[in-house]
Chains A and B, each alone.
Chain A
Amino acid sequence: MPGLSETRCPLCNIHALNSLCCFFNNKTVKHTKPFSPVFKQEALSNMDDYDKTCLESALVGVCSIVQQEWGGAIPCQVVLVTDGCLGIGRGSLRHSLATHNQRSESNRFPLPFPFPSKLYIMCMANLEELQSTDSLDCLERLIDLNNGEGQIFTIDGPLCLKNVQSMFGKLIDLAYTPFHAVLKCGHLTADVQVFPRPEPFVVDEEIDPIPKVINTDLEIVGFIDIADISSPPVLSRHLVLPIALNKEGDEVGTGITDDNEDENSANQIAGKIPNFCVLLHGSLKVEGMVAIVQLGPEWHGMLYSQADSKKKSNLMMSLFEPGPEPLPWLGKMAQLGPISDAKENPYGEDDNKSPFPLQPKNKRSYAQNVTVWIKPSGLQTDVQKILRNARKLPEKTQTFYKELNRLRKAALAFGFLDLLKGVADMLERECTLLPDTAHPDAAFQLTHAAQQLKLASTGTSDYAAYEQNITPLQTDFSGSSTERM
């Protein structure tokens, strides 16, 4: 980037712009504190003016700041304030866009942002001015590159403080309005603010491209122990803050004590009126449970107590992925019903058992002793097991045949008949190596097993049937009373 030394931090790069890329600070908009890590007013006044507009560098800077600070999963609103001039020559937005297709992995264009984002471009110019050049097209291209996430704002009428304020007012209305909802548990209800605002979610861009939005009625459908819900994956987490509304539905206060005196009295009253959120939070915390909440059709979430420190804790809501079965270990959400409908309490009379987790129909490979012989060691281990048990016949007859049949099945499926022959030879050799002290049954079983494997290795007759198992030879060495035939 010309005119700037390489050692500058990304923040400085952002400073060095005619078009100032700015984050809202918490004095501007309430409740945006988490989204505004960068600027304080002092910092703004300390900034120098530079003579080159370099939007791409600014966006790269935003990328790295956000990722370092918040990672790649937290939604972030990026507000770009510009006069609509895009710079000239190298580093200008026109140049950036023109070379967009020639990027390698190392100098990737910063859009789309590698985190969920909205790019709001605030133009200090009116539409006519922008349309006289290709500025607007270029800026629109930026929004397109951010997968259409974002919007361009322009000034209505002449450039003056009032019109600029009204433009930012529109942004605030669009992006920063609090999300109010009613939390319900049957007849128990509370007005709440959900913070941050839950984002719309697209389940499958192809078959269901319409983003899903959560209901403003958050209806609790039942409760589950924390151990049963077991750290489920969630799309996002939100604070659920009880709020006091007046008759017109305007927010009177959050009950949080503020310095402001007028609010103080209203908040104090709100603090003393029993609120369902507080009751729910207290019981969830004490019982170690979560409340399952319905957010929309086939969309659920959970409410739980989240402790920030030993003293502070809060009611939180996490959103599951929309769909009929967000958590495999709970099964289909619609199939969850009240325990009173069950014949007997699935949690047991002494609360000592649980209907969760649900077991899947088929076991996974690591839970079902599958046979894999891709590495020679896999095959060798299986053969060794048979051999070990062969040397402990007749005590290990059952295990011997179990392992033998496992090997036989796999060999038949893989068409690996040479192995069956090989193992048969091996068992015959073992037979000849039996010590004189060996039980006579050992020799019988080894010979029988070898014979059966040889028959299976022909691959033709009934002996190679997959479902059929080699069964132990029926011998009777148990007592002297019965004569052998």
Chain B
Amino acid sequence: MKIFSESHKTVFVVDHCPYMAESCRQHVEFDMLVKNRTQGIIPLAPISKSLWTCSVESSMEYCRIMYDIFPFKKLVNFIVSDSGAHVLNSWAQEDQNLQELMAALAAVGPPNPRADPECCSILHGLVAAVETLCKITEYQHEARTLLMENAERVGNRGRIICITNAKSDSHVRMLEDCVQETIHEHNKLAANSDHLMQIQRCELVLIHTYPVGEDSLVSDRPKKELSPVLTSEVHSVRAGRHLATKLNILVQQHFDLASTTITNIPMKEEQHANTSANYDVELLHHKDAHVDFLKSGDTHLGGSSREGPFKETITLKWCTPRTNNIVFSSISELHYCTGAYRISPVDVNSRPSSCLTNFLLNGRSVLLEQPRKSGSKVISHMLSSHGGEIFLHVLSSSRSILEDPPSISEGCGGRVTDYRITDFGEFMRENRLTPFLDPRYKIDGSLEIPLERAKDQLEKHTRYWPMIISQTTIFNMQAVVPLASVIVKESLTEEDVLNCQKTIYNLVDMERKNDPLPISTVGTRGKGPKRLKGILERGKEELAETEIIKDSPDSPEPPNKKPLVEIDETPPVEKSKGPVSLLSLWSNRINTANSRKHQEFAGRLNSVNNRAELYQHLKEENGMETTENGKASRQ
């Protein structure tokens, strides 16, 4: 895929000479009388569009489809040519929309049939087109700046679509020669300029249009290379709907589009509200949405569409959703989608098209089924809108290479059952992302990248985050929770400080009342010295502020003293007997940690105050207490 291919820049050059004011000689009935009301009244005479009107509305349709499918990076420059060239817009992204072009075209107005034809020529427009192709687009500029010394990799190619009424084949040659000559000259100019780029390749598409019923004076000619820089093709097309059809085919060729017809769309009839009929809607999109069909050869071509004999469309069937499910495919389902491509309806204002698009724009998605020769049904695509844009999603319908993978519960950490799933869920919700569209600056004035801020926050929020319930006491204590949520904040408000104090006083109060610590019954195995240290230090931070707990009778000495000594003097903790004091919990953990470092003598393991009891088997079996050595199985 190349960003800067020929389709990055398209220049429309539309003839505005007096001849273009001629009628296309294709009548449009606009006065459709309602039968019962207007008896005896003769409808107004049909009107017909001028060659100009046909050219403009066909090129606008080309742009409409292009902007729908490629709202960015595919640019159009519109030029109107009569006694001079009128450039209606620029390559700037903000000029790239239909409203701008329509307003500019209205300002130009239709050609003046009374103007002097001698003064007018399409050549002015073609020269301006070459000139404008040399102008750098913001995307080219950005890419060149980014690539620095590799700036020459940024290509400058483009396409000129010229709609005119030529006099003869030799007239067409003359136009081609002129473009060729102009490119040569402008490339010389561009070579010496910083803000111009030499044209590497230019595709000239000359469309000769003439009134229906007349003979064409110009013959069709397929694409031909005139020079290494310029290729040219000639299309001789009758005006009216023929011209529109031609441009519709061209936009598909130029932008690698393909057509999909959605069939069996159920729609309520306007007149008979309780009956519904099935409709078809044809959509255009990038051809990659059909990649699986093209490669597998299992295409179900819906035949040529009604529009023209050139175009093929692939038929996909609307999947009527299960009843009672208003939102068609459940939104919170994550489909395996290999591509999503913007669409444009071929017949944007027809009732079936607008029904379908409005249905999707209201936030609903619909699955599409691919009819296969074998008769089997496969869901291959999904239509869905995201923020007012409709996308055709390609769903993977071939076999998955990840069939029957091992479940996560069979892998590392899969046997652990007390993960803090809910707490981590809360953590994830607090660390959700949101767009920051306006630039923000750091204190030092440099640009702040929101995504980096998000990473910083994750770093801060995970400095202490035990993964399992039995690894943590403070996160299991309702009384400490306010501290845990405050500790990750960047700055504390007055209220936060008060809240902290309140929590701490509350803890002190609990300590005084000898309230039990909430110990998980799942098991109190420590998970190694590192994490234990985390707990100790966190505990220290929280407790140090008041220093009251330290002085109370049951509280331990600060951990920087030798904890081992103290442990020696404490009796082994009885496990699984519910409430224990902070000290016994602590020493138990340290014990566990130490026991992992070396194989403890069996005697000492069961000793009281380092004194091993001899002949202990004489006692009752159940009267004994074994200290957990970390290998004991969990309940």
A: residues with CB less than 8 A from B are 34-35, 67-74, 114-115, 185-188, 190, 195-196, 203-208, 219-227, 229-234, 237, 239, 241-244, 253-257, 268, 270-284, 286-292, 294, 304, 306, 308, 311-316, 318, 328-342, 346-347, 351, 355-360, 362-367, 370-381, 383-384, 409-410, 412-419, 422-423, 425-426, 429, 433, 459, 464, 466-467
Contact = CB atoms under 8 A, between A and B. Distances in A.
Interface residues of B, number: 137
Which has the most chain B C-beta neighbours within 10 Å: A226, A231, A318? A231
Contacts of B461: 186
A308 B404 contact: yes
Contact of A255 (B58, B387, B414, B430): B414
Given A274-B416, A274-B471, A333 B451 contact: yes
Contact of A221 (B57, B244, B333, B458): B458
Nearest to A113: B295
Contact of B434 (A34, A227, A255, A339): A339
B208 interface: no
Interface string B433-457: 1111100100000000111011101
A274 B291 contact: no
Interface string B341-360: 01011011110011001000
26 contacts: A72-B295, A203-B1, A206-B153, A207-B4, A223-B431, A242-B413, A257-B410, A270-B412, A271-B414, A274-B419, A278-B411, A289-B425, A314-B406, A329-B389, A331-B437, A335-B435, A335-B436, A337-B435, A338-B432, A339-B430, A378-B350, A380-B30, A383-B32, A459-B109, A464-B106, A466-B107
A418 B440 CA distance: 54
A341 B448 CA distance: 12
A314 B102 contact: no
A318 B337 CA distance: 10
Interface stretch (B185-193, B390-398, B588-596, B609-617): B390-398
Contacts of A467: 103
A88 B357 CA distance: 60
B565 interface: no
B143 A270 contact: no
Contacts of B334: 226, 229, 231, 290, 304, 306
A270 B437 CA distance: 44
B86 interface: no
Contacts of B433: 221-224, 292, 336-339
Contact of A380 (B29, B48, B434, B435): B29
A308 B340 contact: no
B407 A227 contact: no
Interface string B326-346: 000001111111111010110
Contact of B430 (A203, A340, A342, A357): A340
Contact of B401 (A34, A280, A378, A419): A34
Contact of A415 (B105, B397, B414, B462): B105
A338 B431 contact: yes
Nearest to B490: A340
B436 A337 contact: yes
B447 to A, nearest CB: 10
Closest 6 CB pairs of A and B: A275-B413, A337-B450, A71-B398, A415-B110, A186-B462, A357-B387
B471 A284 contact: no
Interface stretch (B61-69, B162-170, B498-506): B61-69
A397 B111 CA distance: 34
A337 B454 contact: yes
A313 B407 contact: yes
A287 B337 contact: no
A335 B110 contact: no
B23 to A, nearest CB: 9
Contacts of A466: 102-103, 106-107
Given A366-B344, A383-B31, A275 B349 contact: no
A234 B408 CA distance: 22
Contacts of B335: 231
B384 A230 contact: yes
A315 B409 CA distance: 11
Given A331-B435, A366-B348, A422-B31, A415 B387 contact: no
Contacts of A371: 349
Contact of B449 (A188, A225, A334): A334
B401 A74 contact: yes
Chain A contact residues, majority secondary structure: mixed
Nearest to A275: B413
Contact of B387 (A271, A283, A328, A378): A328
Contacts of B440: 341
B131 interface: no
Contacts of A74: 398, 401
Contacts of A68: 296
A221 B454 contact: yes
A223 B312 CA distance: 42
Contacts of B111: 415
Given A337-B450, A372-B64, 9 more contacts: A190-B412, A205-B1, A223-B432, A231-B340, A271-B412, A383-B31, A415-B56, A422-B47, A433-B38
A217 B409 CA distance: 24
B466 to A, nearest CB: 9
Given A224-B432, A360-B387, A415-B111, A70 B399 contact: yes
A364 B390 contact: yes
Contacts of B244: 374
A287 B436 CA distance: 24
Contacts of A276: 413, 467
Nearest to A302: B334
A74 B402 CA distance: 11
B350 A377 contact: yes
A141 to B, nearest CB: 23
A341 B407 contact: no
Interface in B561-602: none
A473 to B, nearest CB: 23
B510 interface: no
A366 B50 CA distance: 26
A204 B150 CA distance: 14
Contact of A365 (B68, B110, B427, B459): B68
Nearest to A236: B338
A187 B435 contact: no
B384 A414 contact: no
Q: Which of B67, B336, B422, B527 has the most CB of A within 10 A?
A: B336
A73 B403 CA distance: 16
Interface string B83-115: 000000000000001100011011111110000
B516 interface: no
B173 interface: no
Interface string B26-42: 00111110000010010
A356 B331 CA distance: 13
Given A366-B390, A374-B244, A287 B425 contact: yes
A283 B429 CA distance: 10
Contacts of B348: 365-366, 370, 372
Given A234-B338, A466-B106, A206 B53 contact: no
B340 A364 contact: no
A52 B471 CA distance: 68
Contact of A287 (B60, B428, B434): B428
A233 B425 contact: no
Contacts of A415: 50, 52-53, 56, 105, 108-111
B3 interface: yes
Contacts of A188: 462, 465, 467
B71 interface: yes
Most buried by A among B44, B56, B425: B425
B413 A337 contact: no
Given A227-B331, A337-B434, A364 B102 contact: no
A342 B436 CA distance: 8
B135 interface: no
A415 B98 CA distance: 16
Nearest to A75: B401
